A = this chain, B = another copy of it.
Amino acid sequence: MGASKSDFFTQQQNQTAEIFKALGHPARIAIIEHILSMNSCICGDLVDVLPLSQATVSQHLRELKNANIIQGTIEGKGVCYCINEETIKQIKSILEIYIESSEKKNTGCC
């Protein structure tokens, strides 16, 4: 079919997957890294930095916003972006649980 069967998974699993999915594109990683590399919140010079059209950059920004990874506040005629630390911390802690859980298993089968 093509549509993923989200209904069969837990809300947690769906939400976790959605954040990871939003991070799963090199352009969006580049956007995040560029926002972080600025010493202040960035006000939309992303189009100059990325090899993508303005429309495409805007679309990637929307996806990051939808996943709560970045926030944008209107500032005059531009928009000011910054990272939503909470979301990053949230998935970091999920990974920590995975690592912990994996370390508890002392079967050397793989």
Chain A contact residues, CB within 8 Å of chain B: 4-6, 8-10, 13-14, 16-18, 20-30, 32-33, 36-41, 50-52, 71-73, 75, 80-83, 85, 88-89, 91-92, 95-96, 98-99, 101-103, 105, 107, 109-110
Contacts and interface: CB of A to CB of B under 8 A. Distances in A.
Given A16-B29, A71-B110, A88 B95 contact: yes
Chain A contact residues: helix, strand, loop or mixed: helix
B39 A13 contact: no
B26 A23 contact: no
Interface hub of A33, A85, A103 (most chain B Cβ within 10 A): A33
28 contacts: A4-B26, A4-B27, A5-B27, A6-B26, A9-B26, A13-B30, A13-B33, A16-B26, A20-B23, A20-B24, A20-B29, A21-B23, A21-B24, A23-B24, A36-B105, A37-B101, A40-B105, A40-B109, A41-B109, A82-B102, A82-B107, A82-B110, A83-B98, A85-B102, A88-B98, A91-B95, A92-B95, A92-B96
